[in-house]
Amino acid sequence: MPFNNSVLLVSDIDLNEADYSTTLSGCIEQFSDYLESEPALYSPSTVVYYTTHADLALTIIQAFDPDVLPYTVCRSHVQYLVSEIVARGYSVKYCKHLITGLKKICKFYHNNIFYNITFRWSVDARPAANWLTESQAAQLLSLDLSPVQELILHLELCMGLRRSEVGRLKVSDIHNGYLDVHGKGSMGGKFRRIPFHHDTQKVLDRFLQYRRWLIDTHFARWGICDIPEQLLIWSNDSRGLFQYNIESGSGLDGILARISNLVYFDFSHHTLRRTVGRILHRSNVKIQTISKLLGHEDTATTVKYLGLDMDDMIDGMSMMRIKGIDDCDEI
C-alpha cells in the first residue's frame, strides 16, 4: 500500500484553523454540526454513518498516538489504522467504511493526507457465515436506531420474519401478544401466527407513534391522502404515503444496508432469519417448534437453517447417556 508523505492543506469547506477543537470529542461534534447544517447533502443516517466511522477510526489510532486529531493525521497514523483493523479481522467492507469516515473528517479539517494514498484491499476470503454469533446479534440490538430500522431488525432478528413478510405486515395483523404473518406464496401467502418476543410490544409502540406522526404531518401539510394498510409506510412530500415494494424489496434492503454500515460484519435479511433459528436451537427449543415459527413446510428445511456443525455434534455426544451403562460405577 503506497503512501505519500506530503499533506496538502486544501478544502472547499470554510473552517478557520483558529476554530479547530483541541479534543477528539470536540472535533467529532464540530464535524457532526457541519454535516447536520447541510441537510440537502447529508441525510440524518448519512451524518451518523460519517461521524460513527470517523470517531471509531480515530479512537483506534489513539492507541498509537493518544494526541491524534483529524488535522494532525499523517501517513504513519493511516498505516497503523489499516494494519490494526486488518489484524482485528474486520471485513473488507467495514475497513472501507472506517477509511471513508476518516477521509471525510480529515477533509473537513483541511487535511488532505489521503490525496495520493491508494488502498489495495485483498479479496475477503473468509467463509461466508449464514448466521450471526450471539454477540453480533446483541451488538445489532444495542444500536441506536430509528423507529423504522429498529422495527425491521426486530421482526427479522427476534421473530424470524422474511423480508417479504415484513413488507406485507398490516396494522390489522397486530394483536394482543401475537402477529398474523402472511408468508410465501400467492393469494397473500401462507398464514401463520407468531407470539410476541418480550421486546415486541415496546418496539411496536415506538414505531406506531412514529407512523402516527408521519400521517399527521402529511395531513397537516397537504390536507388529504390515502393511508396504506401496511404497517411499514414512507412519505414522499406531496405525492403521498406509500408502502414498501414487496416484490423488489429495495426500500427494505436500503434500510438494512444502513444498519450494516454501523457494524464491522456483513449480513442480509436471510442471515437474520437464519440466526433466529440457530439461537432457538441452541436454547434447546424443539426443531418442530422452530419450524413452525419460521414458517417452514417441514423440519428438513429447518435443519438446513440451523447450520449444524462439529461443535453441535460434540455438544450432542457429550450429553449422550445410556441408562444402565453410563450410570454404573467403574470396576
Q: Are residues 112 and 148 in the same domain?
A: no
User: Is 80 exceeded by the pLDDT of residue 63?
Assistant: yes
Question: 173 and 99 share a domain?
Answer: no
pLDDT in tens, 177-227: 999 998 775 555 578 999 999 999 999 999 999 989 888 887 877 776 778
pLDDT of 330 over the 60 cut = no
Tell me, yes or no, whether 62 lies in a domain: yes
- pLDDT at residue number 15: 64
Q: Where residue 38 sits, what CATH number does that domain have?
A: 1.10.150
Number of structural domains in the chain: 3
Global pTM?
0.61
- Which set of grid coordinates corresponds to residue 109? 479539517
Instruction: Give all strands (DSSP E) within 138-222, no chain letters.
Output: 174-175, 178-182, 191-195
143 has a pLDDT exceeding 90: yes
pLDDT of residue 316: 66
42 within a domain of the structure (yes/no): yes
Listed range (40-49, 67-76, 121-130) with the worst mean pLDDT: 121-130
- Give a yes or no: residue 7 inside a domain: no
Q: Which three cell numbers stand for residue 48?
A: 451518523
Residues 79 and 193 occupy one common structural domain = no
Mean pLDDT, residues 57-71: 94
Name residue 7's amino acid.
V
Given 85, 116, 147, the domain boundary residue is 116
pLDDT at 61 over 70: yes
Q: Are 57 and 266 in contact (CB under 8 A)?
A: no
pLDDT of residue 96: 87
Task: Report if residue 251 sits inside a domain.
Answer: yes
Q: Which three cell numbers stand for residue 120?
A: 489495495
Q: Is residue 25 part of a domain?
A: yes
Instruction: State the Cα–Cα distance between residues 180 and 232, nearest whole angstrom.
Output: 15
* Domain co-membership, 203 together with 254: yes
Say if residue 98 is in the same domain as residue 162.
no
Res 319: pLDDT? 65
What are the DSSP E strand ranges found in the chain?
174-175, 178-182, 191-195, 233-235, 241-243
SS3 of residue 174 by DSSP: strand
User: Which set of grid coordinates corresponds to residue 114?
Assistant: 489521503
E strand or H helix that includes residue 243: strand 241-243
Of 110-114, 206-210, 238-242, 300-304, the poorest mean pLDDT is in 238-242
Segment 32-59 mean pLDDT: 88
pLDDT in tens, 272-285: 999 999 899 888 89
Predicted local confidence at residue 4, as pLDDT? 36
Alpha-carbon torsion (251, 254, 256, 262), positive or negative: negative
pLDDT of 9 above 60:
no
Residue 194: inside a domain: yes
DSSP label at residue 127: P
| pLDDT score at 331 | 41
Q: In this structure, are 52 and 27 located in the same domain?
A: yes
φ and ψ at residue 128, rounded to 5 degrees: -75, 115
Same domain? For 213 and 306 the reply is no
**Separation of alpha carbons 270 and 146, rounded Å:** 21
71 and 177 fall within a common domain: no
Q: Of 260, 288, 310, which marks where a domain is finished?
A: 260
Q: Which helix (H) or strand (E) holds 29?
A: helix 24-36
* Residues 41 and 75 both lie in one domain: yes
What are the distances in angstroms from CA 186 to CA 125, 182, 192, 283? Answer: 39, 10, 15, 34
Domain residues for the domain of 54 are: 17-116
| CB distance 91 to 126 below 8 Å | yes
Is pLDDT at 320 greater than 70 in this prediction?
A: no
Structural domain contains residue 286: yes
Grid cell locating 57: 477510526
- pLDDT at position 299 is 86
Q: Are residues 89 and 56 in the same domain?
A: yes
Query: Which cell numbers hold the place of 133?
Result: 454469533
Regarding whether 96 and 66 lie in a shared domain, the answer is yes
Please report whether residue 330 resides in a domain. Answer: no
Quick one: pLDDT at residue 248? 59
Same domain, 141 and 255: yes
Residue that wins the pLDDT comparison between 90 and 28: 28
Q: Which of 260, 287, 307 is the last residue of a domain?
A: 260
State the Cα–Cα distance between residues 248 and 13, nearest whole angstrom. Answer: 39
**Confidence band of 11 (pLDDT split at 50, 70, 90):** very low
Q: What is the pLDDT of residues 146-177, one digit of tens each?
A: 999 999 999 999 999 999 899 889 999 999 99
